[in-house]
Amino acid sequence: MIVMQGRFHSYEGYPLWKTALPVRVMKLVGIQFLIATNAGGGLNKTFKVGDIMILKDHINLPGFSCQHPLRGPNDDRFGTRFFPVNDIYAKELRDLAKQLASSLKLDEVVKEGIYTMVGGPNYETVAELKLLSLLGVDSVGMSTIPETLVAHHCGIKVFACSLITNLCVDDYETNLKPNHEEVVEVGKQRAEDLKEFVTLMVQKMATME
């Protein structure tokens, strides 16, 4: 088992391939499952701050302009040049997560939805959020997709979840503003629940093929 303390973000100046490089190291040492977590903004109107959203799928906005962690020559040791991603977030792991959430009495907290990655470091404009909402996005963040794409490419089963640390402001007539301090504070408040949830996920994964 490998546990990373934080991650590399593209907005810090790292190319996308480098943000996902630790995943390839994991593959080389025998890791079979990836659990990716992030702090995300809640765009879905039914979400509340402190909810945990299981990623069912994603919209890779950087990928629309060929900004992709696997851009460039393909290394066939890890996977094929072209690969499907319709099942990138393994259903068996999503189902397991929902069962564990129920056992922890987190049914009202754990949701499922579509995540998208923006470049950051600024939060999104109202117009951008309205567009993402039309696309069916439930949570918005600035990470995760490079790592999950690279993991799926090399045969690692992927589970990912977003801690909803702020609600997206998609109304011009409000004085509310997302801020980093709020994100950090909500992360601390939900830390114990997340720790217990992820610990159970790891224990169950250890028994899976």
pLDDT band at 143 (very low <50, low <70, confident <90, very high): very high
Q: Is the pLDDT of residue 169 over 90?
A: no
Residue that is written with structure tokens 């907005």 in the block: 11
Strands 33-42 and 139-141: antiparallel
Amino acid 54: pLDDT: 98
Could you give the C-alpha distances from 202 to 6, 133, 197, in angstroms and in order?
18, 33, 9
Q: Is the pLDDT of residue 24 over 80?
A: yes
Q: Is the pLDDT of residue 72 over 90?
A: yes
pLDDT band at 187 (very low <50, low <70, confident <90, very high): confident
Token pair listed for 163? 């801690």
> What's the whole-number mean pLDDT along residues 4-17?
95
- Find residue 141's DSSP bridge partners: 117
Ranges 40-44, 102-106, 129-133, 170-174: which has the least confidence:
170-174
Residue 207, amino acid = T
Domains belonging to the chain, first-starting first, are 10-205 (3.40.50.1580)
Token pair listed for 110? 């754990």
**Phi and psi of 208, rounded to 5°?**
-95, 150
Could you give the C-alpha distances from 129 to 43, 155, 160, in angstroms and in order?
8, 33, 22
Amino acid 174: pLDDT: 78
Amino acid 209: pLDDT: 72
Q: Is the pLDDT of residue 95 over 80?
A: yes
CA atoms within a 13 Å half-sphere pointing along the CA-CB vector of 186: 22
Rounded to an integer, what distance in angstroms lies between the CA atom of residue 75 and that of residue 191? 37
Q: Is the pLDDT of residue 26 over 80?
A: yes
- Cα radius of gyration (the chain): 17
State CA 49 to chain mean position distance.
Answer: 16
Amino acid 188: pLDDT: 81
Q: Which residue has the higher pLDDT, 185 or 67?
A: 67
Amino acid 7: pLDDT: 94
Amino acid 206: pLDDT: 93
> What's the whole-number mean pLDDT along residues 54-62?
97
Q: Is the pLDDT of residue 176 over 80?
A: no
> What's the whole-number mean pLDDT along residues 120-147?
96
